[in-house]
């Protein structure tokens, strides 16, 4: 049995879309005709190739992160009530309001009803369910603790969502200040300055250097703005093309690790992600070496990801995880010490969880400090820009008053 998305006309000529389960597209069309609908398009929901080889939990193609998080939490709750997996998928699918997400869940349910495991059904959508999600679900199925595994995944998604929202909120105020200030500056330069300079031209008065510079900028923006727009578009396109080259990305990530503030933030975020992911995989029964490799693919910074790969090689040779990670010097010493304590006590999964929480709190504290510093700094910079424009306009007026006197 498969899952099909359809577009059909009703008896009033209105177009509607929906999802239907069936053995074939023909069966679905016949079923739609029996309901008085005229099928226009019936396509089976299929998976696709992954966009990247690894990466963290990711979403796309019409499915929001909140949809996956909520569905994961619901599945954990229903499985705890001893419902079969296929029934859980059916209930969760028809509770969501996202048509695309419902179709994917029903397609996964169809694979489960064919005799495949849940992890195998999820593997058909690697662009939606990353390695950590699929491997953790597979470990949960083999150990019989799928409900607990899905609960851990839901908590992981919720924490990641909260951290992203905090970063977004931290950038809202500076973004508004910069945008509003640039808007005011643009209006002054493009419209106010040319009108004022006409008055000074009639008097034949020599203008201050600051005013002359502002007039030159105004003339460029009014007459050559298309070149500026073309340059910005070219810079953006160049950046997009360079971002696809691994060598450039590796160099850029190395620069981020050398700058003081960005290094603290990048290291903190990636260390927290590594500890959280490895903790979930270890607690779910995934072998440590395999878990370290999967968790390493979730690290976004290439230099740190390569350090995890080298650490996995050291662990395969018989070394400890904490020593292997400490060799690079890129990960937080506190996290390294907690991992060492976990290895010594046999409670690695639990201490990885504590390490992730501590690192996330440190990142949140750093974000708070940076936000507190960034807000007044942006106000000063934008205020200085507007003040410069105002002075460039007022200085000739002051000189004109002195000339009249």
Residues 347, 309 share a domain: yes
Can you give the residue range of the structural domain that contains 361? 170-405
> Is residue 28 included in any domain, yes or no?
yes
Residues 241, 376 share a domain: yes
> Is residue 165 included in any domain, yes or no?
no
Mean pLDDT confidence for 368-374: 79
> Is residue 134 included in any domain, yes or no?
yes
pLDDT band (50, 70, 90) for residue 238:
very high
Q: Are strands 15-22 and 38-44 parallel, antiparallel or unpaired?
A: unpaired
> Is residue 60 included in any domain, yes or no?
no
Q: How much is the mean pLDDT over the chain?
A: 80
The domain boundary, picked from 135, 158, 181, lies at 158
State residue 229's pLDDT score: 85
Residues 374, 310 share a domain: yes
State residue 1's pLDDT score: 58
Residues 267, 151 share a domain: no
Residues 153, 178 share a domain: no
- Write out pLDDT tens, residues 197-228: 666 666 666 777 887 887 788 777 777 778 88
Q: Inform me whether the pLDDT recorded for 287 exceeds 80.
A: yes
Q: Inform me whether the pLDDT recorded for 149 exceeds 50.
A: yes
Number of domains present in the structure of the chain: 3
Residues 312, 353 share a domain: yes
- 41's enclosing H/E stretch is strand 38-44
DSSP label of 61? T
- Write out pLDDT tens, residues 241-271: 988 888 898 899 989 888 888 888 888 888 9
Mean pLDDT confidence for 292-314: 87
Residues 101, 17 share a domain: no
- Answer whether 0.85 is exceeded by the pTM: no
Whether 3 and 103 have beta carbons less than 8 Å apart is answered as yes
> For residue 117, which of 95, 163, 149 has the smallest C-alpha distance?
149
27 class by beta-carbon count within 10 Å (0-12 exposed, 13-18 middle, 19+ buried) = middle
> Is residue 52 included in any domain, yes or no?
no
Residues 289, 146 share a domain: no
Residues 217, 333 share a domain: yes
The domain boundary, picked from 125, 158, 191, lies at 158
> Is residue 57 included in any domain, yes or no?
no
Residues 312, 210 share a domain: yes
> Is residue 30 included in any domain, yes or no?
yes
Residues 398, 259 share a domain: yes
The domain boundary, picked from 113, 130, 158, lies at 158
As a whole number of angstroms, the distance between CA 211 and CA 390 comes to: 10
> Is residue 71 included in any domain, yes or no?
yes
As a whole number of angstroms, the distance between CA 382 and CA 179 comes to: 10
**Domain CATH code at residue 369:** 1.20.81.30
State residue 400's pLDDT score: 64
> What would you report as the CA-atom Rg of the chain, rounded to the nearest whole angstrom?
29
pLDDT band (50, 70, 90) for residue 57:
very low
């Amino acid at each position: 049995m498969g899952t099909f998305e359809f577009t059909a006309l009703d008896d009033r000529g209105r177009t509607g879309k929906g999802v239907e389960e069936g053995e074939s597209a023909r069966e679905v069309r016949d079923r739609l005709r029996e309901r008085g609908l005229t099928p226009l398009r019936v396509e089976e929901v299929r998976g696709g190739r992954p966009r990247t080889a690894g990466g963290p939990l990711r979403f796309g193609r019409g499915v929001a992160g909140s949809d996956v998080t909520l569905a994961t939490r619901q599945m954990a709750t229903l499985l705890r009530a001893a419902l079969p997996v296929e029934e859980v998928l059916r209930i969760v699918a028809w509770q969501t309001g996202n048509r695309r997400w419902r179709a994917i869940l029903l397609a996964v349910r169809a694979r489960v009803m064919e005799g495949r495991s849940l992890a195998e059904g999820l593997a058909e959508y690697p662009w939606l369910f990353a390695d950590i999600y699929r491997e953790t679900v597979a470990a949960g199925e083999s150990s019989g603790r799928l409900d607990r595994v899905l609960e851990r995944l839901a908590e992981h998604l919720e924490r990641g969502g909260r951290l992203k929202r905090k970063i977004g909120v931290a950038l809202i105020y500076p973004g508004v200040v910069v945008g509003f200030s640039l808007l005011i500056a643009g209006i002054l330069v493009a419209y106010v300055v040319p009108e004022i300079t006409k008055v000074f031209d009639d008097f034949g008065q020599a203008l201050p250097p600051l005013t002359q510079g502002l007039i030159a900028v105004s003339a460029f923006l009014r007459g050559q703005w298309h070149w500026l727009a073309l340059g910005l578009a070219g810079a953006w396109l160049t950046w997009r093309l360079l971002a696809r080259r691994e060598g450039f990305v590796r160099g850029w990530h190395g620069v981020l690790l050398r700058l003081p503030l960005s290094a603290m933030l990048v290291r903190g975020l990636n260390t927290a992600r590594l500890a959280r992911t490895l903790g979930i995989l270890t607690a779910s029964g995934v072998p440590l070496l395999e878990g370290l490799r999967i968790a390493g693919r979730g690290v976004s910074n290439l230099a740190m990801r390569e350090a995890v790969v080298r650490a996995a090689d050291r662990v395969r040779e018989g070394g400890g995880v904490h020593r292997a990670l400490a060799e690079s010097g890129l990960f937080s010493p506190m996290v390294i010490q907690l991992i060492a304590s976990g290895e010594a006590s046999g409670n690695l999964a639990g201490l990885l969880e504590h390490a992730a929480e501590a690192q996330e709190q440190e990142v949140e504290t750093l974000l708070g400090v940076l936000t507190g510093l960034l807000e007044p700094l942006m106000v000063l910079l934008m205020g200085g820009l507007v003040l410069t424009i105002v002075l460039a306009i007022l200085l000739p007026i002051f000189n004109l008053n002195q000339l009249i006197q």
